[in-house]
Amino acid sequence: MRALGGRGGREETPTGPAAPGPGDERVVLYGRAGCHLCADARAVVTAVAGRVGAGVREVDVDAPDPADEPGGRPGALAERYGELVPVVVVDGVQHAVYHVDPGRLEAALRRPPA
């Protein structure tokens, strides 16, 4: 797992939203090492999230980190997502699988979180 930033108690700066703080992630990107579609999705997600000031957390579905696993059971994310990666979740709702449309993601991130 790699925390990349998010939403929360940020203030506006003269140049736009302040940088997200830890734990303020609105976007979760589920992927795996060696996945070219995951690399493409990461590029889109980080660019769009950076533009709107939203935080991103990246989760490797194959990593044995019980903190990322439903119920703390190792392998649960790999079983859940299988070959569907990358999967992008925005505000707890699945947003995209395989390919991320930058305009659609930006629109979702500009809406207030539910």
What is the rounded CA–CA span in Å between residue 5 and residue 21?
A: 6
What are the pLDDT digits (tens) for 55-73? 999 999 988 765 655 566 7
23: left (phi over 0), alpha (psi -120 to 50) or beta: left
What is the rounded CA–CA span in Å between residue 6 and residue 64?
A: 24
The domain limits of the chain are: 40-52+96-114
What is the rounded CA–CA span in Å between residue 45 and residue 100?
A: 8
DSSP 8-class letter at 63:
S
DSSP 8-class letter at 103:
H
What are the pLDDT digits (tens) for 25-51? 999 999 999 999 999 999 999 999 999
Tokens of 109: 């991130």
What is the rounded CA–CA span in Å between residue 81 and residue 97?
A: 10
CB contact at 8 A, 109 and 90: yes
